[in-house]
Chain A
Amino acid sequence: MSPAAAPLPIDASANREPSATTRDYAAFGGVLRSEIEFPELSAAPHGSRPDWTLTVDHGEPPAHALTFVGERAVREERYELSQFGDGFRLVYSHAGTFDIARDGSSIVWYHNRTAIPELVRSIVLGPAISLALELAGFLCLHGSAVAIGETAVAFVGPKHYGKSTLATALTTAGGRLVGDDLLVVSPGQPPTVRPGVGSVRLWSDMAAVLPVGKVSDTLIQGVKTTVTGFVDEALAVKPTALGAIYVLAPVLKHSDERAGWRSRLVPSEATIALAHQTKLPASLVGLRGAGSQLAAAAAVAATVPVWTLHAVRDVARLGQLVRQIIEWSRVE
């Protein structure tokens, strides 16, 4: 099928059972019907209605009239987002072109033979589905979250700040993993966080010391590995109200005796802190998209306490920090 001759397949598969070439996966609180296999995702319940469909088109991307929205460059990688009549086009230098319907319900990947499958999957489960979710009104943050009792605590911050480590440690201490890497927050009242993909990505040194389940890759120093195999009881399966958001601020272990401490951010600081951690940067989503992100971040920050968590970088004190976070969540 050439998408140039037909609208994006928003409704075409919505009410059908998955075909021989598609599978339904549970992800981000919804169902992804995909022509690409995702070994990192669990199967959706039989008979589920898809929230998003991912199709693969082996033709060239259609020549839509495109309006530039924004771009992002990270070392040799480059993303560019444009808008056309029926949706948005995301072009990623290392995996090709993705067209995303205006309502976020369908994603078409234009097959690129040179693309590494893992990279294509990471774009689908990262920027592409983040855009689809933001078009549906969600706030997509770079972070991790764990449910403790009836509420969830979230950790946001740049790479290497310990988000996944804390989420894993809290999960192994009795919490339920909500999500890792991409946090999908509904800015309603109360703000809730949707369950993610049921796995975490840990740096090899942490994967080696934490009591985690199944490590899917060989541990290589300086490389992240996917940890799966959490028991059902350790995974959140429904949206969970956000009780607190921690903006991580690592502290060198020799500078303080404690495991960690926190300080509350005022609403404007909290909004800025969250807006800094959106999965899709403002430079990529443009003025209108950034405005929507900022409004969503403000709505969350107005309701959910946002703290700077000064976490001491010391594996020996990780358990103490986890107990402290659990204690904080119990008194709030």
Chain B
Amino acid sequence: MSIVDTMPSLSLDTPVRASPQLVSCEVADEAVLLSMRDGQYYGLNEVGASIWKLIQQPRTVVQIRDALLEEYSDMEPHEGERAIAEFLNEMISFKLVDLV
């Protein structure tokens, strides 16, 4: 069973996108976000920054996985899917990502 199956809010086919209530910028290969809701800053590593770029438009976990598989050839599909779902769920919990 995939981890996303256990999370009612996010399935493989649920589109998500970056919340409009924040500002972000790229720095080196990473990214920094500022939530205007609570004034908190968040740093994203290279993979997180890649996902962040992708979800400037609504994307599903599957679409994000497929895009990352092209970018990171050493990524294992199932593990990648799990990591993307965990990342997005954390971002949703911080209200940095919206379910569309």
Listed in ascending order, the chain A residues whose CB lies under 8 Å from chain B are: 266-272, 275-276, 281-283, 286-287, 290-291, 294-295, 298, 301-302
Interface flag for B43 (CB, 8 Å): yes
Question: What are 12 residue pairs bridging A and B, where the CB atoms are less than 8 Å apart in the complex?
Answer: A267-B28, A268-B30, A270-B27, A271-B32, A275-B41, A286-B36, A287-B21, A290-B36, A294-B23, A294-B24, A294-B32, A298-B26
Interface flag for B39 (CB, 8 Å): yes
Interface flag for B31 (CB, 8 Å): yes
Set of chain A residues within 8 Å of B44, measured between Cβ atoms = 268
Q: Which B residue sits closest to A291, measured CB to CB? A: B23
Interface flag for B92 (CB, 8 Å): no
Contact of A268 among B27, B36, B39 (CB under 8 A): B27
Known contacts A287-B23, A290-B23; is-contact A298 B32 (Cβ 8 Å): yes
Interface flag for B25 (CB, 8 Å): yes
Q: Which A residue sits closest to B21, measured CB to CB? A: A287
Known contacts A268-B43, A268-B44, A272-B41; is-contact A301 B27 (Cβ 8 Å): yes
Q: Which B residue sits closest to A295, measured CB to CB? A: B25
CB distance from A284 to the nearest CB of B (A): 11
Does A267 contact B30, Cβ atoms closer than 8 Å?
yes
Q: Which A residue sits closest to B43, measured CB to CB? A: A268
How far does the alpha carbon of A298 sit from the alpha carbon of B44 in the complex, in Å? Answer: 13
How far does the alpha carbon of A272 sit from the alpha carbon of B36 in the complex, in Å? Answer: 14
Set of chain A residues within 8 Å of B30, measured between Cβ atoms = 266-268
How far does the alpha carbon of A263 sit from the alpha carbon of B25 in the complex, in Å? Answer: 24
How far does the alpha carbon of A302 sit from the alpha carbon of B31 in the complex, in Å? Answer: 12
Interface flag for B69 (CB, 8 Å): no
Does A272 contact B28, Cβ atoms closer than 8 Å?
no
Taking CB atoms and an 8 Å cut-off, the chain B residues in 1-35 that contact chain A are 21, 23-28, 30-32, 34
CB distance from B19 to the nearest CB of A (A): 11
Set of chain A residues within 8 Å of B25, measured between Cβ atoms = 271, 291, 294-295, 298
CB distance from A12 to the nearest CB of B (A): 35
Set of chain A residues within 8 Å of B32, measured between Cβ atoms = 268, 271-272, 275, 294, 298
- For B, the interface residue count at a CB cutoff of 8 angstroms equals 17
How far does the alpha carbon of A282 sit from the alpha carbon of B45 in the complex, in Å? Answer: 23
CB distance from A294 to the nearest CB of B (A): 5
Contact of B34 among A269, A275, A301 (CB under 8 A): A275
Contact of A272 among B21, B23, B43, B45 (CB under 8 A): B43
How far does the alpha carbon of A269 sit from the alpha carbon of B32 in the complex, in Å? Answer: 8
Set of chain B residues within 8 Å of A301, measured between Cβ atoms = 27
CB distance from A147 to the nearest CB of B (A): 26
Contact of A269 among B23, B39, B43 (CB under 8 A): B43
Does A282 contact B43, Cβ atoms closer than 8 Å?
no
Known: A294-B23, A294-B25. 15 other contacts (CB 8 A): A267-B30, A268-B31, A268-B32, A269-B43, A270-B27, A271-B32, A271-B43, A275-B34, A275-B41, A283-B39, A290-B23, A290-B34, A294-B24, A294-B32, A302-B27
Interchain residue pairs A-B with the least CB separation, the first 6: A268-B43, A291-B23, A268-B30, A298-B27, A267-B28, A272-B41
Set of chain B residues within 8 Å of A271, measured between Cβ atoms = 25, 27, 32, 43
CB distance from B43 to the nearest CB of A (A): 4
Known contacts A271-B25, A301-B27, A302-B28; is-contact A294 B43 (Cβ 8 Å): no
